Amino acid sequence: MAQKRFRKTHFFWLLPLLVLLVPVLALLAAPLFGVHWQGLGWRQGPSLDALWYESDGCRQVDVHGARLSGLWPLTLTLDTVGVHDCPDDGTPFRLPSLPPVDITVWALQYQDYPPLMAHLSQAGGRWRGRTEFRGSELEAEYRRDRGRWRFTGDLQAAPFAAVLGSGPLTGGVRLQGDGQWLPGQRFQGKLVALGRDLGVSGQGPRGDLTVRARWHNDYWRVRAALDEPLALGGGWVVSPGRDLIAEGRGLALSQADGRLVVNGPWGRAALALSSDAERFGEGQGRLLLSEGWRGRLDVDWRDGQLRLAPFQVSLPEPAVTLRLREPATLPLALEGEAILPLEAVYQDLTLTTSDSRVYWRPNDVQWRGGLNLTGQWGGYRLTGQWQGDAGPTGVHGEPARVRLSDADLDVTATLPLDGVTPPHWPLAATLEGRYQSIPFRARADARLDGDTWSGALNGRGGPLPELDGGVLTLDGRWDYADRPRLLAGATVKLSRAVRERLLIRPINARLTTPLVLDDDGPHGHLSLDGEGLVAERWTLPPVTGDAHLDGDTFGAELRVPAWQTQINLSGRARTRGYAGTLSGVTPLAPAMSRGLPFTFQGGDLNLEGNWRWAGSAHLDGRLTGHGLDLDWGSVQARGLDAELALGWDDGAAALATVTPLTLASLDVGVPITDLRLDLDSDLNTWTVRRAHARVLGGEIRTPGLSWPSPAWQPVVVTQIELSRLAALQGEPAVALSGRVGGYVPLRLLRDSIAVRQGRLANETPLSLSILPSSGAQAMAQSNRAVSIALEALNPLRIQQFQAGVDMAADGWLDAAVRIQGVNPQRNGLPVVFNYTHRENVLELLRSLRIGDRITDQVMTESKR
């Protein structure tokens, strides 16, 4: 008896210990049943950081933040519960027998859908559940003993917009259902959904939708009725018609009747379904597309198969026609396959499938077959092939090849598709071909992140025609969200190249902002760096600049730092070609003169103009020069001011002075000052008009001179002071006074100059006296006759002076001088002096001072 009391006493004492041991043992044994846990702790009760259930390597349920706050009923609070998609192992789901439980889940999430708040309780086999989501709630009850269930709920449409991927929704749905669920035996019930004021906010009408469904195991029947037109979003509106009634078993459709009309941006779609009353499980349907898209799809179902007749559907925009070439049969089952010989036509392009099959099973659908592309697009011939399969897990198969060609362009793109899988769909394509005679090769890769495609683009083309060694390379990154962009940092480089005898040093263009391709053209900014040009007789130093593209307009600012030159260019696309403005300013320096027959010593040039390109170049501008100083060897021009109108029209040049060109001084051995003239030229013929200058106290003028020209063109000189002429002597030999004048007819040919019957005469009495000099003494001592002549001439008052000059184009000069006067120191001795001279001026020039020795020195110097 005492022993019994002892056992009872200790049994009750051990009871709490057992209660504590049970959950501990349960936790330790849980992994054996696929339940795993971690992070055992205490948070106002025992808690677990994480708990999950795995079956066949798939984690079906994830629980975070589990806390036990009561033992009777067993009260659990779960922070989050995630339910994932795992393959069904075929075991029927049953609710377990449990002691009373009360579970609160703050965030219950099924796959990627938004989380709900849920509360679940059970007592005596009666389960109750309640979920809430942004104003919507659903309550359900299940009695385990009889298998009866029922639920009610009110759903607001607005929060489901994001789930459905639609626009903002309005209205609500009341749900009510009941039935019986005996796991593994029976699942039957009925459901009524009453939608009120359903629609898309601000888009069309709202309607009431009623859906009634009932089922018994795999048999089901649905009836849907729409009372008012209902906006579906995106401009689509479904109109009420005959109630839609469908009945079937599993996926097998046995009966369907109804009529549905949808109107939207693409047109009108009318769906009509009808079952054969005589033959259960047979029926037919028709989808008529009109008012935009056009086509007709006929289907019928029989013996658990859906037959689709050949059809042709045309979409309005883009203008694509989709064809089913042969009838297709699709089994009405959860798993199956069908042959779908489809063909799509866009403009003159046709995409044809071969061995086209669709496979499906629960949670999966795959297409397998070949694609063949042929036709014309944008003036190009386009062909392509691909063989492989595609589905939710990606695309697999041989590389796709597309070839685009015309007379100038021939490019083949190769796109390996193995490994092209979601979510990033990584692609890498190579392009290889030629443009005219320019071979090129490029590589582009892409991947999808969210809604944006992005990748890198690298290409190399060349050598360019007529550019020996010129290779173009492109390196950059791009993206495409709502429009394609080449990102900042992308570069295009032209390597060193030779065009004819011009060396083009490397040129580099770099994007400083993304280059965006819009409907009106590209937009973006870029920097330009050119290392310059080298020609036989001139160089262009490095050029830097910036350019901007704004759709159909563009502009550039270019600088030549070594010359302090700046050029601005702007333009706009026109219906035919381009047009814009051009301006530039630069100081002039000797370094800019390497290719010219003269050397700039100073001054400034300014250019303003308008240009146009329509297959050929046109330019109208104004070139202004201020304070220009030029050297033609020993000939020096100083203080040149000019304002020229420039024109270039398809290779024809024109320039003309706007205001008279003025030159402060021109030193050709004889100083000429205050030169003023008008000038015009087409770069072949240069014409000077109304030229006038001061020279030796007199003036020189001409009404016009053209070069080259076979005409004899007079130059008039007047009032030339002989005293100033005499002052030019290095060692004065004679003293002169008085003024002379006359005219010199010139013939200015391209490579020669000739004078015919030039005449000079005195305009005032002249005087001549011979100064003592070594030259005069030598002449006097040469012979007696010369000595007598010199004595007679010294001094001389000249009443009449006449000189005639002729010079042939080959350089032979003939001069004849007649002097008539008196010698006042010889009692007015009358003197008549005739002198003739003949010499080849060009030969004289050749032998003057440029001998072999000097040219050898020049050649030696330039070998450095």
Partner 1 sequence: MTLIRYLVLAAALLLSVTAAALDLNQAKAEGLVGEQPNGYLGVVKATPAAVELVSDINEKRRAAYERIAKQNGITLDQVANLAGQKAIEKTPSGEYIKTPTGQWVEK
**Would you state the structure tokens that stand for residue 520, as one six-digit string?**
């009106």
Q: How far is the CB of 436 from partner 1 (least distance, A)?
A: 21
Q: Would you say 243 or 629 has its CB closer to partner 1?
A: 629
Q: How far is the CB of 380 from partner 1 (least distance, A)?
A: 35
Neighbours of 657 (CB within 10 A): 18
Distance (Å) of CA 802 to CA 688, 729, 740, 798, 817? 28, 22, 9, 11, 6
Q: How far is the CB of 415 from partner 1 (least distance, A)?
A: 38
Q: Would you say 799 or 847 has its CB closer to partner 1?
A: 847
Residue whose token pair is 């219950």: 108
Degrees to nearest 5, angle at CA 99 with 95 and 102 = 80
Q: Would you say 449 or 466 has its CB closer to partner 1?
A: 466
What is the C-alpha separation between 626 and 616, in angstroms, rounded?
31
Q: How far is the CB of 374 from partner 1 (least distance, A)?
A: 45
Q: How far is the CB of 498 from partner 1 (least distance, A)?
A: 5
Q: How far is the CB of 861 from partner 1 (least distance, A)?
A: 4
Rule CB under 8 A: which residues touch partner 1?
Answer: 468-469, 496, 498, 500-503, 534-539, 594, 597-599, 631-635, 669, 845-846, 848-850, 852-864
Q: How far is the CB of 569 from partner 1 (least distance, A)?
A: 27
Q: Which long-range contacts (CB under 8 A, 24 or more apart) does 355-364 make?
A: 360/335, 360/336, 361/334, 361/335, 362/88, 362/334, 362/335, 363/85, 364/391, 364/392
Q: How far is the CB of 811 from partner 1 (least distance, A)?
A: 13
Q: Would you say 389 or 631 has its CB closer to partner 1?
A: 631
Q: How far is the CB of 860 from partner 1 (least distance, A)?
A: 5
Q: Would you say 557 or 631 has its CB closer to partner 1?
A: 631
Q: Would you say 205 or 506 has its CB closer to partner 1?
A: 506
- What residues contact 621, with CB distance under 8 A and at least 6 apart? 582, 607, 608, 609, 610, 611, 645, 646, 647
What is the C-alpha separation between 81 and 89, in angstroms, rounded?
21
Neighbours of 317 (CB within 10 A): 9
Q: How far is the CB of 858 from partner 1 (least distance, A)?
A: 4
CB 47 within 8 A of CB 67: yes
List the beta strands (DSSP E) in 72-115: 74-83, 101-110
- Number of helices (H), then strands (E), in the chain: 7, 64
Q: Would you say 4 or 863 has its CB closer to partner 1?
A: 863
Q: Would you say 407 or 848 has its CB closer to partner 1?
A: 848
What is the C-alpha separation between 368 and 386, in angstroms, rounded?
11
**Would you state the structure tokens that stand for residue 688, as one six-digit string?**
């000077």
Q: Which H or E element spans position 25?
A: helix 2-29
CB 178 within 8 A of CB 192: no
What is the C-alpha separation between 134 and 172, in angstroms, rounded?
12
Taking every pair of C-alpha atoms in the chain, what is the biggest distance, in angstroms? 192
Q: How far is the CB of 696 from partner 1 (least distance, A)?
A: 18
What is the C-alpha separation between 774 and 733, in angstroms, rounded?
8
Q: How far is the CB of 633 from partner 1 (least distance, A)?
A: 3
Q: How far is the CB of 507 from partner 1 (least distance, A)?
A: 14
Q: Would you say 279 or 849 has its CB closer to partner 1?
A: 849
Q: Would you say 302 or 493 has its CB closer to partner 1?
A: 493
Q: Would you say 98 or 635 has its CB closer to partner 1?
A: 635
CB 262 within 8 A of CB 244: no
Region for 669 from its dihedrals, namely left if φ exceeds 0, alpha if ψ lies in -120 to 50, beta otherwise: left
Q: Would you say 5 or 849 has its CB closer to partner 1?
A: 849
Residue 202: burial class (beta carbons within 10 Å; 0-12, 13-18, 19+): exposed
Q: Would you say 4 or 849 has its CB closer to partner 1?
A: 849
Q: Would you say 502 or 579 has its CB closer to partner 1?
A: 502
Rg (CA), the chain: 51
Q: Would you say 711 or 845 has its CB closer to partner 1?
A: 845
Q: How far is the CB of 852 from partner 1 (least distance, A)?
A: 6
What is the C-alpha separation between 701 and 728, in angstroms, rounded?
22
Q: Would you say 275 or 495 has its CB closer to partner 1?
A: 495
Q: Would you say 504 or 766 has its CB closer to partner 1?
A: 504
Region for 590 from its dihedrals, namely left if φ exceeds 0, alpha if ψ lies in -120 to 50, beta otherwise: alpha
Q: Which H or E element spans position 24?
A: helix 2-29
What does residue 108 show for φ and ψ, rounded to 5 degrees?
Answer: -105, 120
Q: Which H or E element spans position 559?
A: strand 553-560
Residue whose token pair is 């308008």: 610
Q: How far is the CB of 592 from partner 1 (least distance, A)?
A: 12
Smallest CA-to-CA distance from 313 within 329, 334, 295, 327 is with 295
Q: How far is the CB of 632 from partner 1 (least distance, A)?
A: 5
Distance (Å) of CA 297 to CA 285, 301, 307? 8, 13, 11
What is the C-alpha separation between 628 and 605, in angstroms, rounded?
8
Distance (Å) of CA 357 to CA 199, 341, 354, 497? 37, 8, 9, 54
- The sign one gets for the Cα dihedral 402, 405, 408, 410 is positive
What does residue 765 show for φ and ψ, rounded to 5 degrees?
Answer: -55, 145
Q: Would you say 363 or 634 has its CB closer to partner 1?
A: 634
Q: How far is the CB of 636 from partner 1 (least distance, A)?
A: 9
Q: How far is the CB of 496 from partner 1 (least distance, A)?
A: 6
